[in-house]
Structure 1
Amino acid sequence: MRKIYRSLTFRLTLWYAVVFAVSLLSMLLVVYLMLAQRMDTRIDELLLSDALEFKHLYRLYGIENMEAEFAREAEVAGTDQVFFRLLSRNGSQLRASDLHAWKEVPVTQSILDHLAPDQPAFETVRVPGQPHHVRVVYFLAAEDQNVLQVGYLRRDDERFLEEYRHISVAVILAGIFLAASLGWFMARRALGGVEHVTETARVIGTGDFARRVIVSNRGDEIDHLAVTFNMMLDKIQSLIVELKQVTSDIAHDLRSPITRIRGMAETTLLEDTTIPAYQEMAGLVVEESDRLVAIINSLLEIAEADAGVAQLARSDFDMTGMVQDAVELFRPVAEDRAITFQVTVPSSRVIHTGDKGKLQRVLANLIDNALKYTGPGGRVLVSVEDEPAHVKVSVADNGIGIEEHDLSHIFDRFYRADRSRSTCGNGLGLSLAQAFVKAHQGHIEVESCIDKGSTFCIVLPH
């Protein structure tokens, strides 16, 4: 039971019922006050009409005929419903209708003292023996300062208002029950999707990552939550698959140099124990260790960049100068392989803000790949384009190209296309390049055609 009280469904239902009850009560109260005011206004108009009529009769026939007029009028309206009296200024009774049903009808002396001509005064009093209130009007009858007093029993009006209150209570209770039922239904319907998400999350927690939330296609916020939750699960599952693949690739790429190190050490110990052999083994061990350290450092840098925590040493530098320096660095390699190496840059400086060191590594990787997969007699072109929103650095070659099915994977860690497996490398260069460019809020575009070459374009926003 306590669990139900603490549930969101119960609290929403309670809020529905409370808001509905308060709204209904406010509406019924406003109607009640309007009815009561309208009834008072109607009675006051009736009392004032009688007072004006008796004032006219008083001026025509004098005080002697007033009692008969009072009796006749009271008989018509009901002697237990109305009474009429003529009072002096000091409150003494001069004439009156039948007062058997009215015992000790009160007179408010303060009203008599302050009563002005043609200015009626109204009050509501309780008459002993009467279960209902009486509405009374005081009105000056003539210049002799005598006062007409007319009273009307509010029995029918108060009974009507009492019946209205009873009906209002029943309506409020029925409304609360209806609001609670409707609120419970709506809350259960609204939160049903949340329960599906919760259940799916619980099942996924047991290891079933293929589980998805069923989308009801109602188009509400819960459907949007379910779709977003499923998209998140798809992303998590793809990350898990990628993590498994990366773990397998790391194990493979780390195992190979470690195996070679162990093999060299074992061979040297068992076959050749001379100093030159040990020196050669030590040199090879250092070389393989450096390769391992480079792989590990690249993986760490990729992870930092992908996580958005890479530290960028931002500064203003000349992009054209950086590109020209990189081209000059690789020109000897191009000449050794008989590759035409060209560079096209704007005549003016292109100032860019970023981590120059990391962008140099990105460019060096792309140029190295272009030279590596371009045969003798080929061509590699490096160009810079300065546009209003961004700067583009392109590296184009006419080498072996990349097959279409490999284009979507070339930036994956340790991925190597079939046509590139014969060349040295660990498959981390493009992954690292893409991570560094993304850290600068940029991206890399690729176009390639088999045996016609590839074009890698770095796009960096200003």
Structure 2
Amino acid sequence: MFALLSGVVLGLVYWTTAALIDQQTVTAVNTEMAGLKDIYHRGGPNALVSALENRVTGYQGYHHIYLLAPLDGEPLVGNLRQWPKVEPDRNGWMHFMVESEIEGRRQLWPAHARVVHLSSGLRLLVGRDMTERTGFARIMEQSLAFALGAALILGIIGGIIMSRNLLRRIDAVNRTAQTILEGDLSGRVPVSGGGDEFDRLAINLNSMLDRIQKLVSAMRDVTDNIAHDLRSPLNRMRSRLEITLVGKPDLEEYRHSLEGALEDTDHILHTFNALLSIARIEGRNAVETFAPVDLSELAANTVDLYEPVAEERGQSLTFTPPLGERPTTVMGDRHLLSQMTANLVDNAIKYTQDGGRIEVAVRFDATGAVHLVVGDNGPGIPEKFRHSVLDRFVRLEQSRHTVGTGLGLSLVAAVADLHGARLELSDNAPGLRVELAFPDRAAPPAQAEAAE
């Protein structure tokens, strides 16, 4: 392709240059012919013969060709020995070879001439030596052939270098893909550092592989945790049923055994329902169905719902609304936001000692974002574990005797991510402080009324 384009460009240069030289030749011959015809019309044949003799002996004779002859006779004057044996075309132009002898050597050189017939039975030939034009054409053809050869060689070398580099980069991707297919998820596509398209592709592929490896690792951890969490209730259920069948229980023992089995079944179902909820939340990508939700009202309702539970443990559960009359409206799914708030309050009650303090608040920051804050004075979470507790089945209590699935904060993180909220866990000195910052995306009043 490189050689072809070079040939086209050089061919155009050659064609336009040759056409320009030919046009200059035609113009020069026509101009000279017009001048001689004018001399003939003003002075007759004698004046024309005299003018031709001057031209033949002058500097014009080196480049121009002149010949004046009767229609059927010998030439009268000119620098040609005889009339060319070539028939002119319909425009009077002739292309022929002129024979001459220079330093004892016979030579042929091309000529381009025009013929006109005069009124006195004479015919006049005016032409031009085309040796320079032919030499130029020969040089151009040689240069064109050399340039095309060089372009072809450079094109082949460049093509080989580019194709080898391209294949090398593609082979790197193929090797990484083969490594992944063989089960080694740690393989990554090498990045050259040049910042080209392959580097951007490699960076995207590596990010995708990092994400896949993280998901696979998380899936393995989830599988292990599910097996650990469900093994205990299943073993208890089997033991109760086995003891009931082997012994001779009365009706009350049957009832007690069945109630225990139901509790274990409820725990298993709760675990799977929580997993399904998180999966559905993380799989959602359409937020067009979001509607305006008053976060302050939702938090107040959640506190009212859990206040009797806190009172049973002697805990103080309070809600602090924001100052001012500014609406605390966020765009979101009311059910998911309610479930998220309930999980936060339920966790605070569960892990705060009897007689503890739990505070729920809604406030604004300087950027206009709405914040939901749930704080307690319980044991809290060490800073090094605050990121990992958002993963599924992560529980700081390794014995797992406390009722729970380890999915509460995972669901909170999934809902926050769906709503574009920033989730932050910090020290409440003492206790844990969970804060969610929702972006300022409140719907206009007309939209809010329509949603209501």
TM-score bracket, normalised by the shorter chain, equals 0.7 to 0.9
Query: Which ranges of structure 2 fall in alignment gaps of 5 or more residues?
Result: 100-107, 442-452
Tell me the residue number matched to 2:415. 436
SS at match of 2:203: helix
Choose which of 288, 309, 320 in structure 1 pairs with 2:296: 320
Tell me the CA shift for residue 409 of structure 1.
0.8
Tell me the CA shift for residue 420 of structure 1.
9.2
In 2, the alpha carbon distance for the partners of 1:65 and 1:316 equals 108
Tell me the residue number matched to 1:299. 275
Point out the more displaced range, 180-189 or 305-314: 305-314
Choose which of 66, 74, 77 in structure 2 pairs with 1:83: 66
Tell me the CA shift for residue 128 of structure 1.
8.8
SS at match of 1:47: helix
Choose which of 124, 129, 136 in structure 1 pairs with 2:113: 136
5 Å-filtered alignment, 1:10-409, equals 18=1, 20-44=2-26, 46-48=28-30, 50-51=32-33, 54=36, 58=40, 62-64=44-46, 66-67=48-49, 70=52, 73-74=55-56, 82-85=65-68, 97=78, 99-100=80-81, 102-106=83-87, 124-127=93-96, 134-137=111-114, 148-308=124-284, 314-346=290-322, 348=325, 349-386=327-364, 389-409=368-388
How many residues align? The count is 428
SS at match of 2:187: coil
Deviations 1:238-287 (A, max 9, x none): 22222111110011111111111001101111224322211221122122
For the structure 1 residues 93 and 307, does the alpha-carbon distance in structure 2 shift closer, same or farther, using more than 3 Å as the test?
farther
| Equivalent AA in structure 1 for residue 214 of structure 2 | S
| Equivalent AA in structure 2 for residue 178 of structure 1 | L
Deviations 1:279-333 (A, max 9, x none): 2211221221111111011111112222336899744443222211111111122
| Equivalent AA in structure 2 for residue 380 of structure 1 | I
- Post-superposition, which runs of at least 4 consecutive aligned residues in structure 1 deviate over 6 A? 75-81, 91-94, 128-133, 138-141, 143-147, 310-313
Tell me the CA shift for residue 124 of structure 1.
4.3
SS at match of 1:210: coil
CA contact (8 A) 1:83 1:98 kept: yes
For the structure 1 residues 221 and 314, does the alpha-carbon distance in structure 2 shift closer, same or farther, using more than 3 Å as the test?
closer
Tell me the CA shift for residue 404 of structure 1.
1.4
What is the root-mean-square deviation in Å for CA atoms of aligned residues?
A: 3.7
In 2, the alpha carbon distance for the partners of 1:350 and 1:458 equals 13
TM-score of the superposed pair, with normalisation by structure 1: 0.80
Query: Which ranges of structure 1 fall in alignment gaps of 5 or more residues?
Result: 1-17, 112-122
In 2, the alpha carbon distance for the partners of 1:221 and 1:132 equals 59
Percent of residue pairs bearing the same amino acid type = 29
In 2, the alpha carbon distance for the partners of 1:179 and 1:216 equals 25
SS at match of 1:395: strand
CA contact (8 A) 2:65 2:125 kept: no
| Equivalent AA in structure 1 for residue 356 of structure 2 | G
Deviations 1:115-161 (A, max 9, x none): xxxxxxxx6433499998753346899x9998854122434413431
In 2, the alpha carbon distance for the partners of 1:459 and 1:242 equals 26
TM-score of the superposed pair, with normalisation by structure 2: 0.81
| Equivalent AA in structure 1 for residue 221 of structure 2 | Q
CA contact (8 A) 1:193 1:226 kept: no
In 2, the alpha carbon distance for the partners of 1:215 and 1:239 equals 23
Deviations 1:213-254 (A, max 9, x none): 333333333233333333332322222222111110011111
CA contact (8 A) 2:94 2:114 kept: no
| Equivalent AA in structure 1 for residue 78 of structure 2 | S
For the structure 1 residues 238 and 318, does the alpha-carbon distance in structure 2 shift closer, same or farther, using more than 3 Å as the test?
closer
SS at match of 2:128: strand
Point out the more displaced range, 423-432 or 347-356: 347-356
CA contact (8 A) 2:176 2:188 kept: yes
Tell me the residue number matched to 1:453. 431
CA contact (8 A) 2:319 2:359 kept: yes
